[in-house]
Amino acid sequence: MAEAQIIDGKKIAADVRAEVATEVARLVKEHGVKAGLAVVLVGEDPASKVYVKNKAQQTVEVGMNSWEYKLPAETSEAEVLALVQKLNNDPACHGILVQLPLPKHINSEKVLNAINPDKDVDGFHPVNVGRLWVGERALVPCTPTGSIILAKSVRPNLSGMDAVVIGRSNIVGKPVAALLLRENCTVTIAHSRTKNIEDIVKCADLVIAAVGIPEMVKGSWIRPGAIVIDVGINRVPSENGKTKLVGDVAYDECAKVAGAITPVPGGVGPMTIACLLRNAAQAAAMQIGVKSAFA
Ligand code: NAD
């Protein structure tokens, strides 16, 4: 059987960043406004520090202003809320991202809900969740947006497809299901309590796996020719005694059956920051009061 088309997330993310750079330049030229993104990091979590550094670097590369607020782990909730308020009131700052996880003494929900929904580039604020589900213009979570862009790179019109999302988190599963519905797919959400998951996945033309279980989705679960988008990022031991990254999909066996598949790494991963920048550019256009290239 023919091997699946490998969806090149690195290249598609670079294309998205190029589109963002064009939009950022347009907003400067036509409206005299340079889009700006602020990232708030509390504490010393090593993975978060790397994410924040990458975000800041890519923000500058697309021509936006970038601000990094690195606060010590012992910063109080009130101080974080005060910073969010300051950024909400700063007209030069169009997007605010508070890097999760926050230290335990800070209530993440309270902080995320304090962000002005129009500056909520992560799309986690309940107002944006509501706007997404009712079909209003919203800032949509980044990884789900990236997953849909990857699926549409294979098949630009997803209308009528049977889509199965595995996972129902607020960060990936639920928003990606909302986006698929908006694309006129018939959507099934499978999760930890779903019975006969294999049979459900077998019916799908499009599978989006966001579970966090290494290589859970087997080749025998995949309908021949289906598009498979693997959101999972799992670190597992490798043959050389070190660790390696694998997705939620057993890549080698699924690639033999699927029509198209994302690799891990190099699939959905690179799309997340690209879509964050896209959201920041969209937020800037919304705040200037002009049409965005993206929504
Ligand atoms: P989560 O733990 O919040 O949610 C996992 C979901 O999987 C839950 O809704 C649960 O119901 C479901 N689930 C658990 N066990 C299951 C089972 N046996 N069968 C079916 N469903 C089951 O995780 P998340 O934040 O949604 O992330 C999911 C994966 O995606 C993780 O590997 C994470 O690292 C990855 N992720 C990647 C990116 C990226 O940038 N590429 C971004 C976010 C998350």
Task: Locate the ligand 1 atom nearest the alpha carbon of residue 267 and give its number.
Answer: 41
Angle between helices 126-134 and 173-182 (to 10 degrees): 30
117 pocket-lining for ligand 1 (C-beta < 6 Å):
no
What integer best gives the mean pLDDT of the chain? Answer: 97
145 pocket-lining for ligand 1 (C-beta < 6 Å):
no
Instruction: Give the per-residue pLDDT at 1.
Output: 56
Helix (H) or strand (E) holding 180: helix 173-182
pLDDT tens, position by position, 270-295 = 999 999 999 999 999 999 999 999 98
Give me the mean pLDDT over the 27-54 stretch: 96
Most ligand 1 atoms within 8 A of CB, residue of 192, 216, 251 to mutate:
192
| Nearest protein CA to atom 3 of ligand 1, as residue | 169
CA of 49 to the centre of ligand 1 (A): 22
pLDDT tens, position by position, 104-162 = 999 999 999 999 999 999 999 999 999 999 999 999 999 999 999 999 999 999 999 99
| CATH class of the region 32-116 | alpha beta
Instruction: Give the per-residue pLDDT at 244.
Output: 95
164 pocket-lining for ligand 1 (C-beta < 6 Å):
no
More confident residue, 134 or 1: 134
207 pocket-lining for ligand 1 (C-beta < 6 Å):
no
CA distance 134 to 128: 10
pLDDT tens, position by position, 156-188 = 999 999 999 999 999 999 999 999 999 999 999
Three-state DSSP string of 98-147: ECCCCCCCCCHHHHHHHCCHHHECCCCCHHHHHHHHHCCCCCCCHHHHHH
268 pocket-lining for ligand 1 (C-beta < 6 Å):
yes
Just list the catalytic residues. Answer: 55, 99, 122
Q: Does the pLDDT value for residue 49 go beyond 90? A: yes
Domain with CATH 3.40.50.10860 in the chain: 32-116
| Nearest protein CA to atom 4 of ligand 1, as residue | 169
Instruction: Give the per-residue pLDDT at 161.
Output: 98
The CATH classification of domain 141-270, taken from the options 3.40.190.10, 3.40.50.720, 3.40.50.300, 3.40.605.10: 3.40.50.720
Q: Does the pLDDT value for residue 2 go beyond 80? A: no
| Nearest protein CA to atom 35 of ligand 1, as residue | 232
CA of 172 to the centre of ligand 1 (A): 7
Q: What is the pTM of this model?
A: 0.97
191 pocket-lining for ligand 1 (C-beta < 6 Å):
yes
Strand spans (E) along 4-100? 5-6, 36-42, 65-71, 95-98
Give me the mean pLDDT over the 32-54 stretch: 95
Domain with CATH 3.40.50.720 in the chain: 141-270
Can you read off the two tokens belonging to residue 171? 């960060």
